[in-house]
Amino acid sequence: MRGRSLHHTSRHSDFERVVLEEIYQGGYKLPDTAQKFIPEADCKPDFVYEQEAIAIFCDGSVHDSPEQKRQDQIQRDNLKYNTAYQVVTLRYDQDWREKLNILPRF
Report pLDDT digits (tens) over 12-47.
Answer: 579 999 999 999 999 999 999 999 999 999 999 999
For strands 54-59 and 86-91, give the pairing: parallel
Judge contact between 64 and 77, C-beta under 8 A.
no
Per DSSP, the residues of 59-84 read: E-GGG-SHHHHHHHHHHHHHHHHHSS
Judge contact between 92 and 60, C-beta under 8 A.
yes
Mean pLDDT, residues 87-102: 96
Domain ranges of the chain: 14-101
Closest CA to 16 of 39, 40, 33, 38: 33
Mean pLDDT, residues 83-105: 96
* DSSP tag of 55: E
Judge contact between 49 and 103, C-beta under 8 A.
yes
Confidence of residue 10 (pLDDT cuts 50, 70, 90): low
What percent of the chain clears pLDDT 70, i.e. is strictly above it?
89
Q: How far is CA 95 from CA 4, 11, 70, 72, 81, in A?
A: 27, 23, 22, 19, 26
